[in-house]
């Protein structure tokens, strides 16, 4: 009877199975791909979080600046749009990548709020205000209430988020933030032509 260990092919196969050289390289090759994927995912998550923080800062800063005014001129709005672009950096919210909407809301009663005036700028993203339209009643988010005669400045920021690492896989998403401030100098903020 012929023993398999004497057949040259099986002898080489047995020796190959016991050989430990290169095991660490194989383990590293398997782990490196997993670690690279985790690192890229962490980078993407960090960018997404940073964009939310930046858009929140844009809405808060613009509403704060408008609330400190008693009148708004076209030059003031131009300055607001320029400031919003700078605050949003490194993200670009100009052109069709973003939009900032400023609404001035007056409480006609304790439950009916009207948008006295509204302006939008920075970008041309095709999004409308979630608060309403100029001259129409305002739809306020839960927790934001006013008494008759109160006024408030509402700023909404829209921005498109495009994935950096795997754009084809993740795609783009819409980021939305809003902030509210009460006027500080006058109850009414008027617009000058």
Residue 43 counted as domain residue: yes
Q: In b/e form, how buried is each residue of 139-168, taking b as 16+ CB within 10 angstroms?
A: ebeeeeebeeeebbbbbbbbbbbeeeeeee
Predicted local distance difference test score (pLDDT) of residue 3 = 65
CB 127 within 8 Å of CB 99:
yes
The Cα 146–Cα 154 span in angstroms is: 13
Which comes out higher in pLDDT, residue 42 or 14?
A: 42
Gyration radius (Cα) of the chain, Å? 29
Predicted local distance difference test score (pLDDT) of residue 193 = 80
pTM: 0.81
* Chain segment 29-39, per-residue pLDDT in tens: 888 888 988 88
Predicted local distance difference test score (pLDDT) of residue 75 = 95
pLDDT at 2 over 60: no
Cα 143–147–150 angle (5° rounding)? Answer: 100
Predicted local distance difference test score (pLDDT) of residue 22 = 67
Residue 25 counted as domain residue: yes
Above pLDDT 70, what percent of the chain?
94
Which residue do the tokens 């509402």 mark?
154
Residue 130 counted as domain residue: yes
Total count of domains within the chain: 1
Range of the domain at 140: 7-191
Residue 153 counted as domain residue: yes
Which comes out higher in pLDDT, residue 163 or 112?
A: 112
Residue 109 counted as domain residue: yes
Mean pLDDT, rounded, for 56-62: 97
pLDDT at 84 over 80: yes
Residue 176 counted as domain residue: yes
Residue 123: DSSP 8-state: B
Residue 72 counted as domain residue: yes
pLDDT at 17 over 80: no
Residue 2 counted as domain residue: no
Predicted local distance difference test score (pLDDT) of residue 129 = 96
């Amino acid at each position: 009877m012929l023993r398999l260990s004497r057949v040259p092919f099986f002898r080489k196969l047995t020796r190959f199975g016991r050989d430990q050289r290169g095991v660490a390289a194989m383990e590293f090759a398997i782990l490196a791909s997993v670690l690279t994927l985790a690192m890229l995912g962490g980078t993407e998550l960090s960018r997404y979080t940073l964009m939310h923080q930046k858009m929140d800062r844009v809405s808060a800063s613009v509403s704060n600046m408008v609330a400190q005014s008693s009148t708004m001129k076209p030059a003031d709005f131009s300055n607001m749009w320029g400031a919003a672009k700078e605050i949003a950096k490194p993200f670009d919210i100009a052109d069709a990548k973003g939009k900032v909407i400023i609404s001035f809301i007056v409480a006609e009663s304790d439950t009916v709020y009207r948008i006295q005036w509204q302006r939008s700028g920075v970008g041309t993203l095709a999004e409308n205000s979630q608060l309403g339209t100029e001259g129409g009643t305002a739809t306020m988010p839960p927790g934001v209430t006013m008494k008759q005669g109160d006024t408030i400045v509402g700023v909404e920021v829209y921005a498109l988020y495009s994935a950096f690492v795997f754009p084809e896989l993740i795609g783009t998403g819409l980021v939305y933030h809003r902030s509210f401030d009460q006027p500080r100098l006058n109850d009414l903020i008027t617009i000058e032509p």
